[in-house]
Amino acid sequence: MNKQERVTFVINTLKELYPTIPVPLDHKDPYTLLIAVLLSAQCTDVRVNQITPLLFAKADNPYDMIKMSVEEIKEIIRPCGLSPMKSKGIHGLSHILIDKHGGKVPQSFEFLEELPAVGHKTASVVMSQAFGVPAFPVDTHIHRLMYRWNLTNGKNVVQTEKDAKRIFPEEIWNDLHLQIIWYGRQYSPARGWDLEKDIITKTIGRKTVLDAYYKK
């Protein structure tokens, strides 16, 4: 298969497997999504979904969040890891949302990335999942799969995001990045990977990746 055929194969296979696409992080509005995504750094979505109800029961908007101390936030979110940095980030960005944005999450990459503890990937998730703006947030699953599928030589997520945006049509980015995440978790994980179940990698995988798998 040439590259375009591989891209089409990926799109069609994922559409068949995931006709409806659940959003991995539980949330009810842009603010709760922003906080959930921030908490998900170096933490599983399952763990985040266990912790956010405890946090949002006390504060599910910036006005209630700043009534809590950084220490109180830190205690609740501790199981998510990196709690000193994340609690300061949550408290700080809640203040900025109130002071600069009328308590609302801004619909802009630029303003989102100005918030403490919010990087490009977090901003991309919020823009795509909360506001429907085309974005292609690249996490470790997408980075791994794009490499396995020989669709990027990216040594980092920045290059992988550029490659993904170049080869996939913009109108499907928001669905596709979620489909790839779910596929990576179910069929093409980093550990305990069974190539027989991973139809996409088995069909179009990078030769060096397949050779290394079979050598094992």
Q: Which residues are catalytic, by number?
A: 121, 139
Q: Are 160 and 142 in contact (CB under 8 A)?
A: yes
Q: How many CA atoms within 13 Å lie on the side-chain side of 178?
A: 21
Cα-based angle 209, 44, 201 (whole degrees, multiple of 5): 20
Q: Are 139 and 189 in contact (CB under 8 A)?
A: no
Distance CA 77, CA 179 (A): 28
Cα-based angle 42, 211, 166 (whole degrees, multiple of 5): 55
Distance CA 213, CA 25 (A): 32
Instruction: Tell me the Cα Rg of the chain.
Output: 19
As a whole number of Å, the end-to-end CA separation of the chain is 26
Q: Are 174 and 129 in contact (CB under 8 A)?
A: yes
User: Which 3 state secondary structure label does DSSP give 51?
Assistant: helix
